[in-house]
Chains A and B, each alone.
Chain A
């Protein structure tokens, strides 16, 4: 990759290593997101995808390595610079993370209230516009507790894009939703990218959703990057572990019976050494 390309990347992660206590979670991750690209991060439970997301959002400090977001090394940013950078990124958390004491409209307006000096009327107009984008027009006066799961995810997306960010992060956008609502959220993510030309990073378990929205997919496995590629490249990969993840094969199905018994019990079969 040329230095020009590196400078233009939305996100650039190099040799990221992180620990929780003694346990190493990420084991030297290199990861890029290009402008206006939808990058989907996939992997099994405990693969490190949520931890990677938290590092991209500067919510965790790395043991070593660097994370650059829009050209800024987030590990070295001061409070003010970090606040400035936060205006250029939006995050839709898995739970929505709407503030329960604020109405939907107040939730969506919060970044505007904190980072701009816009008057109340302008903020209200911008809020209505974003609510229309996510098909929630007219819901601004409801409280989060009055919304369904899908509506909470949409409201969280509206809050995430209120500042017209350059990068949008979505953590499990379709988790816990019925297939119809999940598909409509996928369409919404594609529409947002096309309309606002933002880079979008999506962490998901949902294969169908990933194949529908991704420009590229990164597959994490036990703290390593197993593969990065387009949907077709990933689908056609001859890597056995990737195919196991794509076809959702359990460990029980992958291992032969003797090996599975040995891992579970430590009992050695046919003279092979115990673990």
Chain B
């Protein structure tokens, strides 16, 4: 083997090794941060540093309430798109009457959690990374530390709790809106009544299907928060660094959501 080829192979192997170590290190950071958050949530009051309820509510407004319009709009669009595509595809086999079954399971088990997760990752995960990285650069995190205020307790735990509560709640809202929008198209296209549509929908779904979607949303919530915080805290290099970690947080969060969703689907169908 020639020397240039050998050095190229070594260089690529080294790159793969370094990337792998970085990935493992990052997952380690996520785990440590989650552990620290749980510790401060339960032990904070004992340490005379309780997690402020007002901060949690403020985050719930930001993450959940203010996201309702865009979640509703996209959920309605996805519901209607599924109905249009489902009827078109099933009509090839003359099975369009089965479209309600497909829509119900797709929306409740997959699409609502996925679309809401991606939306919240883009909206709140990026905001979290940008806020923390800006605070890091402006020495605000140092200021918290020297004031005896633990940054994880003060900044991370309220966001984590708010995300864990609001993302499943938004997913449930997305279920209702998407099914309703799909129902409007199905009624219009196939001429069945709303009552018949909802009756078929409820028959097609079980509580387990609902929990499948809601449970995934809770996991997505943890992932979005941890990725946002770890990226925000790792900022270097001023305003340019803030942009870089914000973009990285969104890309990583969306990737993590999609991969987790696939793993969840695989495990749930075994």
User: Are A114's CB and B139's CB within 8 A?
Assistant: no
Q: Is B148 an interface residue (CB 8 A)?
A: yes
Closest to A84 in B: B148
The interface centre, meaning the residue of B135, B147, B149 with most chain A CB atoms within 10 A of its CB, is B147
User: Are A100's CB and B138's CB within 8 A?
Assistant: yes
**Min CB distance, A98 to chain B, in Å?**
8
Known contacts being A94-B139, A97-B140, is A83 close to B146, with CB within 8 Å?
A: no
Query: For B147, what are the chain A residues with a Cβ–Cβ distance below 8 Å?
Result: 86, 110-111, 114
Q: Mark A76-105, 1 if CB is under 8 A from B, else 0.
A: 000110111111010101110111100000
**Min CB distance, B48 to chain A, in Å?**
7
Query: For B135, what are the chain A residues with a Cβ–Cβ distance below 8 Å?
Result: 99
Bound-state CA distance A133–B229 (Å) is 37
Q: Mark B135-161, 1 if CB is under 8 A from A, else 0.
A: 100111011011111100000000000
Q: Mark A106-117, 1 if CB is under 8 A from B, else 0.
A: 000011001100
Closest to A78 in B: B47
Q: Is B77 an interface residue (CB 8 A)?
A: no
Q: What is the number of residues of chain A that contact chain B, defined by CB distance less than 8 Å?
A: 24
Contact of B140 among A85, A99, A114 (CB under 8 A): A99
**Min CB distance, B220 to chain A, in Å?**
25
Q: Is B247 an interface residue (CB 8 A)?
A: no
Bound-state CA distance A94–B143 (Å) is 11
Bound-state CA distance A195–B149 (Å) is 27
Q: Is B106 an interface residue (CB 8 A)?
A: no
Known contacts being A79-B47, A83-B49, is A93 close to B143, with CB within 8 Å?
A: yes
Query: For A89, what are the chain B residues with a Cβ–Cβ distance below 8 Å?
Result: 146
Query: For B48, what are the chain A residues with a Cβ–Cβ distance below 8 Å?
Result: 80, 83
Q: Is A267 an interface residue (CB 8 A)?
A: no
The interface centre, meaning the residue of A79, A86, A97, A111 with most chain B CB atoms within 10 A of its CB, is A97
User: Are B142's CB and A86's CB within 8 A?
Assistant: no
User: Are B148's CB and A93's CB within 8 A?
Assistant: no
Q: Is A228 an interface residue (CB 8 A)?
A: no
Query: For B142, what are the chain A residues with a Cβ–Cβ distance below 8 Å?
Result: 57, 59, 93, 97
Bound-state CA distance A85–B147 (Å) is 9
Bound-state CA distance A82–B146 (Å) is 9
**Min CB distance, B132 to chain A, in Å?**
12
Interface of B (DSSP majority class)? loop
Bound-state CA distance A200–B146 (Å) is 15
Closest to A93 in B: B139
Bound-state CA distance A86–B145 (Å) is 8
User: Are A87's CB and B148's CB within 8 A?
Assistant: yes
User: Are B49's CB and A114's CB within 8 A?
Assistant: yes
User: Are B148's CB and A59's CB within 8 A?
Assistant: no
Bound-state CA distance A210–B30 (Å) is 45
Known contacts being A83-B49, A97-B139, A99-B140, is A114 close to B149, with CB within 8 Å?
A: yes
Q: Mark A41-84, 1 if CB is under 8 A from B, else 0.
A: 00000000000000001110000000000000000000110111
Bound-state CA distance A86–B139 (Å) is 16
Query: For B134, what are the chain A residues with a Cβ–Cβ distance below 8 Å?
Result: 100
Query: For A91, what are the chain B residues with a Cβ–Cβ distance below 8 Å?
Result: 143, 146
Known contacts being A80-B47, A80-B48, is A95 close to B138, with CB within 8 Å?
A: yes
Bound-state CA distance A83–B49 (Å) is 9
Bound-state CA distance A85–B148 (Å) is 8
Query: For A98, what are the chain B residues with a Cβ–Cβ distance below 8 Å?
Result: 140
Within 8 A of B (CB), among A110-146: 110-111, 114-115
Within 8 A of A (CB), among B45-93: 47-49
Bound-state CA distance A111–B145 (Å) is 11
Query: For B148, what are the chain A residues with a Cβ–Cβ distance below 8 Å?
Result: 82-87, 111, 114-115
The interface centre, meaning the residue of B138, B139, B146, B150 with most chain A CB atoms within 10 A of its CB, is B146
**Min CB distance, A143 to chain B, in Å?**
14
Closest to B137 in A: A95
Contact of B143 among A58, A87, A97, A114 (CB under 8 A): A97
Query: For A95, what are the chain B residues with a Cβ–Cβ distance below 8 Å?
Result: 138-139
Query: For A110, what are the chain B residues with a Cβ–Cβ distance below 8 Å?
Result: 147, 149
Bound-state CA distance A150–B223 (Å) is 41
Query: For A114, what are the chain B residues with a Cβ–Cβ distance below 8 Å?
Result: 49, 147-149
18 residue pairs from A and B, CB less than 8 Å apart? A58-B145, A58-B146, A59-B146, A80-B48, A83-B49, A83-B148, A86-B147, A91-B143, A95-B138, A95-B139, A97-B139, A97-B140, A97-B142, A97-B143, A99-B143, A100-B134, A110-B149, A115-B148
Residues of B in contact with A (beta carbons under 8 Å apart)? 47-49, 134-135, 138-140, 142-143, 145-150
Additional 12 contacts, C-beta under 8 A, given A58-B145, A94-B139: A79-B47, A83-B48, A83-B148, A86-B146, A86-B148, A87-B148, A95-B138, A97-B142, A99-B143, A100-B138, A110-B149, A114-B149
6 closest pairs, A vs B, by CB? A86-B148, A83-B148, A97-B143, A97-B139, A93-B139, A91-B146
